[in-house]
A and B are shown apart, each in its own frame.
Chain A
Amino acid sequence: MLQPRRPPPRPTVGSLALIAVLIGGGAAAFAYTAGWFSPQRLTPDRMVDAFKAPGDSALGHRRNHAKGICFTGVFESNGAGAALSQAQVFRRGQHPALGRFNLGTPNPDAADATVRVRGMGLRISTPDGQEWRTAMIDPPFFPVATPQAFYELVIASGSKDRNAMKEFAAAHPEFAAFGAWAGSAPWTGSYAEDRYNSLNTFIFTDGSGADHAVRWSLLPAAQAVPVSPEELAKGGPDVLEQEITARVRRGPVRWIMVVTVANPGDPTADPSKAWPDDRCTVEVGTLIVQKIEAEADGPCRDITFDPAVLPPGIRTSDDPFPAARSAAYAKSYDRRTAEAKDYPRFATGAKP
């Protein structure tokens, strides 16, 4: 028996139905992956939406840590970090540093004395073209253990419901420690007197290929002088920005960078848990801040201090925050760059 070259045509309706099912299935799989069927999924958009600034004040600004001021300077590496990480930044030498002092608030117009959490974004560049970006804050541990809990915290703290924070604290017992810190830790009158902590855990890989779970901090060279928020408020809404500008004009301001190495078994995935004080620490260098510039026209404006931008020799750990922060910072960046006209630069704009 002979077979014809082409098999007999199938009924067209059946073929068309098959095509429709395949195409519809492909489109549905795509929509599912994009999260369109999962309104509960915590997306970068939802995370960024959670930050509420008064009115339109956020337009053009970072969605959190919205108020800040740029600095430039150098990171002077003493070479000791090379024992922990092969990143070029830890070889003895000076590398350009760019950063941003900031306040942990979605409100870019917040008065400096009203914001409990202060931060520092930092980017260190090395001759091999690598960059190390980090954004640190001054509490000794993070308020919550997971990005989902952080989202809920932001929603609760922005809520008009007076019970929202109580309910949040009840559901997240780890938050009590942060409440205690916020209530009792002394305030300082200067960005230069604060200690900034990575809180998140990262992995350093040394020259032999061995991994070390680490956190890092910048310890101020300036003596911290406690000041009450009421006293600080007398200096005006921008007292911290004016103070750091004047201080750096008088001379460079320094921090020692200290890397803390975890012992086996220390919690690396939970930044709400501080490591014990007796952990091995290594002083790896000094950050020297030499110049302050207003953010609107400054060099820190148009970059993100994305904690997942790391040179070879440093990588993320099982701590889930750097990934969540990286995704949210990128989203915040997409939005604020699209709104640039709402935050004029000095050269072209309205503000003095």
Chain B
Amino acid sequence: MSQAVSRVRQRFTLLQRLLHWLMAACILAMLFIGVGMESTVLPKYLALISIHKSLGFVILVLALVRLAVRLRSGAPPLPADLPAPMKLAAHLSHYALYGLMIGMPLLGWAMLSAAAYPIVIFGSVYLPPIVPQSDNLHTLLWGAHFSLAFVFFGLILMHVAAALFHALVRRDGVFEAMAPLPPPSSEVVPAE
């Protein structure tokens, strides 16, 4: 390894942090809207499903941008003293989260395509179908979209729990790497 990269980055880049927190808000809203609209026949059903489709498309675009940024910018290393099983869990859960961020919108889009629904986002933008109309395919895609929503939410809960564990218990800088605000100065600072 060359001298130039020997100073290892401790935090994600500003763009990565922006994308992370923006998408965190979008995805949480998306999951709550999803289970909410599936459980009501009130007029808000139409508003919720319309937001769900538009927001899903936004998340897909953001996730692809984020994947590209991640491939280019990388990530700060995990602490050397993190136990191996926790490292493995961290790596695997991040693959799963990226897979779901990109996969869920595509499943939803494909599911609507298989059911021959027009796919309208932002009120008047028509997306083309990405799979042919098919009852078997619809069943498969709908089942996957529905079940994976709960997997996704479960993973997010684990992700939050792990982040807080790093922040509150281990205090190892992993949380600070993605925290929206920089940590208190890394040098000693004068108290008041």
Contact = CB atoms under 8 A, between A and B. Distances in A.
Contact of B42 (A29, A303, A318, A320): A320
Interface string A328-352: 1000011001101000000000000
B83 interface: no
A41 B40 contact: yes
B171 A6 contact: yes
Nearest to B118: A131
Given A3-B191, A323-B45, A130 B157 contact: no
Interface string A18-40: 11001100110110011100100
Contacts, number: 131
A114 B89 CA distance: 62
Interface string A299-321: 00011101011001000101010
B45 A302 contact: no
A47 interface: yes
A259 to B, nearest CB: 22
A327 to B, nearest CB: 5
Given A312-B124, A324-B42, A326-B45, A4 B168 contact: no
A327 B45 contact: yes
Contacts of B36: 33-34
A5 B38 contact: no
Given A33-B32, A337-B115, A19 B168 contact: yes
Interface stretch (A9-17, A213-221, A230-238, A277-285): A9-17
B160 A23 contact: yes
B61 interface: no
B43 A320 contact: yes
Contacts of B169: 9, 12, 15-16
A302 B135 contact: yes
Contacts of B81: none
B24 interface: no
Contacts of A306: 117
Chain A CB within 10 A, most for which of B44, B123, B142, B143: B142
B46 A35 contact: no
B46 A308 contact: yes
A15 B170 CA distance: 10
28 contacts: A2-B191, A3-B191, A9-B169, A12-B169, A18-B164, A22-B164, A30-B31, A33-B36, A33-B39, A43-B40, A44-B39, A130-B118, A131-B118, A147-B41, A302-B116, A304-B115, A316-B43, A318-B43, A323-B46, A324-B45, A326-B45, A326-B46, A327-B40, A327-B45, A333-B138, A337-B139, A338-B139, A340-B135
Interface of A: 1-6, 9-10, 12, 15-16, 18-19, 22-23, 26-27, 29-30, 33-35, 38, 41-44, 47, 129-131, 147, 302-304, 306, 308-309, 312, 316, 318, 320, 322-324, 326-328, 333-334, 337-338, 340
Interface of B: 31-32, 35-46, 49, 115-118, 123-124, 126, 133, 135-136, 138-139, 142-143, 153, 157, 160-161, 164-165, 168-169, 171, 186-191
7 nearest A-B residue pairs (beta carbon): A35-B39, A34-B35, A337-B135, A15-B168, A324-B41, A338-B139, A340-B135
